[in-house]
Amino acid sequence: MKNLLGIFVVIAAICFNCDGRQTKREAFVKAVAEYNLNTTPLPAVIFSPDRNVEIVTDTLIANSLNVRIRNYSLMDAQIVVSRTEMNNSSQIQYQRIFESEITITKASKSILSTHISAKQFKGWSTDPFWKDATLQHTWVNQELSSADAITLEISFINPNTKGYKLYRMYIDTHGKQALHLIEEHS
């Protein structure tokens, strides 16, 4: 009889513990599923370049002309290059905008100090290239530069169309500038 009573107690304990409530694991899985249904996923954002970029070049021409060019990226300005949607997630890729500062001195006397950006060119032209264009690079063309004149090459790129424009800027020792389009691809 004692054995029968012990078996009855064990069976009763098992029956009372199986009352249909959720286990901790089931409750967790249900909570995660509800959370996922009520939230919208944030898009993955990719910046190119992913960090601040600054390139400073000092060029000395004919021992008297010094050209200092500072090419840099803006951390708060960018161009949307692509948007992709896949399986409830999205990805946005941005290209940072670049600008350039140019300072030319002759025997420690300032000849020219200027700023170059695609925004300046956008104001001069109605060409759709400039809508999403950014400065790519500015550099001194040493082969065409002399003690009397500096020649700069300025390239712009549109990351959406893969188009580019290459300009040549001539600057004399008095700071007078002339700008010519050398090459373009749209």
Of residues 87 and 72, more confidence is placed in: 72
Residue 70: per-residue pLDDT: 97
pTM: 0.75
Residue 98: per-residue pLDDT: 95
Nearest by Cα to 141 from 40, 91, 67: 67
Q: What is the pLDDT of residues 74-106, one digit of tens each?
A: 999 899 998 888 777 788 999 999 999 999 998
Residue 55: per-residue pLDDT: 94
Using pLDDT thresholds of 50, 70 and 90, give the confidence band for residue 29.
confident
Q: What is the pLDDT of residues 138-171, one digit of tens each?
A: 999 999 998 889 999 999 999 999 999 999 999 9
